[in-house]
Homo-oligomer: A and B are copies of this chain.
Amino acid sequence: MAYKSDIEIAREAKKKPILEIGAKLGIPAEHLLPYGHDKAKVGQGFIDSVQGNRNGKLILVTAINPTPAGEGKTTTTVGLGDGLNRIGKKAVICIREASLGPNFGMKGGAAGGGMSQVVPMEEMNLHFTGDFHAITSAHNLLAAMIDNHIYWGNTLEIDTRRVVWRRVVDMNDRALRQINCSLGGVANGFPREAGFDITVASEVMAILCLAKNLADLEKRLGDMIVAYRRDKSPVYCRDLKADGAMTVLLKDAMQPNLVQTLENNPAFVHGGPFANIAHGCNSVTATTTALKLADYVVTEAGFGADLGAEKFMNIKCRKAGLAPDAVVLVATVRAMKMNGGVAKADLGTENVAAVKKGCANLGRHIANLKGFGVPVVVGINHFVTDTEAEVQAVKDFVKAQGSEAFLCKHWAQGGAGIEDLARRVVELADKGSQFTPLYPDEMGLFEKIETIAKRIYHADEVLADKSVRDQLRAWEAQGYGHLPICMAKTQYSFSTDPNLRGAPTGHSVPVREVRLSAGAGFVVAICGEIMTMPGLPKVPSAETIRLNEAGQIEGLF
């Protein structure tokens, strides 16, 4: 059976002019800033004008812990949006933008798959509307201003050993992870250790995705800590007077991007913070705008529910005053089998026992999510190799948890393949939720980490050196105690050991390091090695990416 590739399907898409897509949401043409004929930014004036509208229902799509088998979270988000529109609901999806760099390493875009895609996929995986380039520029302007300040006399008394503001580039470039800069003599400054992260790891990205408007953006940028003095007192972005110019650079990037699904339904694609050292959700402005324009807004969060949904609830919803009305937990039969101990090569063979065994991971996510007071429904993203007995095993398991699972064939059929799930989501969302975050603002920082570790990861304890605990206490004393925690740990397990699948208990969560993202407004707890600058593989996909004779892009996906 031969399937078309994602890019072949995307190329055949019958796209409607973006002005028509905007019109579906009631956005007048003059408030849509076009980027080509199939992408547009939504003007701030229009966003301001709809603030009196009542909010639609907010639906979060999250997933079990990812496996190499693939779960299809974005594909399900897109499919569910199309499914809701098919059953006559006014629905819009909100997803993250793709990072440019990784496209040149391993194949794989970030715009869904099969018949559940957002288009124009090529452009979404390349420069799109330039948001990430704007973030890179703003970030690096600040970096240049720091070293320039030191160069011209350093009146702020920055300790050059304690500059914590690195530079960024939207490229997988391991050679830049650690550098010595300002070499070559007096004219080039004071030599010091420095380095680059990939753009999506920038605190500017996290801020852009959490800021309510341009004024809030500027304030948060100013709040960022960029360095420390010898007495360890912080130097802020505001001290360098970089916040105004950075805001100017980010002015357009703050406006949500509108594109469309293969079925010509509106999709907001905006922002894309890392899901480890940041919160991994699309922008607050996109989500809150979508809620004013549609009856149902489907959005997603990065990684599995232990990281993505937890941060969505405890960081994004808390800060933006949002409350999810329903959660869709995506699972696949293949991933259940892998969780049940089957090797990747054997995933094509029926193995109901392994499916049952692997369901423990799914079960824990269901229970965790219910703990937030939100209704949970499971979407089984169908693969052609799934057998009826295997699917039934998942359904039975979920039913025993007091929830319900739906087999979804949106990858092959688009919105038509996911109508049952869509109907159930509408029922649940219309009833509403009793959403409460996991912990209150006033809880201590270390206690917040413990709460996440015990209640979400089901760990026995959190391990942390005195220096980590002291640092958390120092931040509390400085007035940062009310911030939520952003956990940076492996996405592959509830524990910090990526090989520990299923639903482990009795484990410990070691917090190696804590970082303060004072502008974004969270404390990052780093558990294990976190890579903020990927490298390219031995044969990067860049080697086969090219324009073909028809001017089409080959090799990108």
Contact status B145-A244, CB under 8 Å:
no
Q: List chain B residues, Cβ under 8 A from A134.
A: 127
User: A179 CA to B100 CA in the complex, in Å?
Assistant: 24
User: Which single member of B33, B143, B187, B188 contacts A36 (CB below 8 Å)?
Assistant: B33
Instruction: Determine how close the nearest CB of chain B comes to the CB of A34; give it in whole angstroms.
Output: 4
Contact status A248-B175, CB under 8 Å:
no
Interface segment, one of A58-66, A312-320, A470-478, A533-541: A533-541
Task: Contacts A33-B37, A145-B540 given; indicate if A247 touches B546 (C-beta within 8 A).
Answer: yes
Instruction: Determine how close the nearest CB of chain B comes to the CB of A355; give it in whole angstroms.
Output: 37
Contact status B251-A547, CB under 8 Å:
yes
User: Which single member of B127, B144, B178 contacts A183 (CB below 8 Å)?
Assistant: B178
The verdict on A26 contacting chain B, using a C-beta distance below 8 Å, is: no
Q: List chain B residues, Cβ under 8 A from A535.
A: 148, 151, 187
The verdict on A468 contacting chain B, using a C-beta distance below 8 Å, is: no
Contact status A137-B171, CB under 8 Å:
yes
Instruction: Closest B residue to A134 by CB, please name it.
Output: B127
Instruction: Closest B residue to A214 by CB, please name it.
Output: B547
- Say which size band chain A's interface belongs to: 35 or more
The verdict on A284 contacting chain B, using a C-beta distance below 8 Å, is: no
User: Which single member of B152, B169, B188, B240 contacts A177 (CB below 8 Å)?
Assistant: B188
User: A248 CA to B249 CA in the complex, in Å?
Assistant: 25
Instruction: Closest B residue to A251 by CB, please name it.
Output: B547
User: A194 CA to B178 CA in the complex, in Å?
Assistant: 12
List residues of A (171-223) whose CB comes within 8 Å of B's CBs.
Answer: 171-184, 187-189, 193-194, 214, 218
Q: List chain B residues, Cβ under 8 A from A137.
A: 100, 127, 133, 170-171
Contact status A547-B247, CB under 8 Å:
yes
Instruction: Determine how close the nearest CB of chain B comes to the CB of A333; give it in whole angstroms.
Output: 36
User: Which single member of B130, B180, B547 contacts A179 (CB below 8 Å)?
Assistant: B180
Copies of this polypeptide in the complex: 2
The verdict on A54 contacting chain B, using a C-beta distance below 8 Å, is: no
Q: List chain B residues, Cβ under 8 A from A244.
A: 542-547, 555
Instruction: Closest B residue to A533 by CB, please name it.
Output: B188
The verdict on A353 contacting chain B, using a C-beta distance below 8 Å, is: no
Task: Contacts A130-B133, A248-B556, A545-B245 given; indicate if A147 touches B174 (C-beta within 8 A).
Answer: yes
User: A240 CA to B540 CA in the complex, in Å?
Assistant: 10
The verdict on A111 contacting chain B, using a C-beta distance below 8 Å, is: no
The verdict on A500 contacting chain B, using a C-beta distance below 8 Å, is: no
Contact status A148-B536, CB under 8 Å:
yes
Chain A interface residues (CB < 8 Å from chain B): 30, 33-37, 44, 100, 104, 126-127, 130, 133-134, 136-137, 140-141, 143-145, 147-148, 151-153, 167, 169-184, 187-189, 193-194, 214, 218, 240-245, 247-249, 251-252, 535-536, 538, 540, 542-547, 551, 553, 555-556
Extra 7 A-B pairs, beta carbons < 8 Å, given A126-B249, A251-B553: A133-B136, A153-B538, A174-B188, A177-B184, A178-B188, A179-B194, A243-B546
Instruction: Please name the 3 residue pairs, one residue from A and one from B, whose CB atoms are nearest each other, closest first.
Output: A244-B546, A178-B184, A133-B133
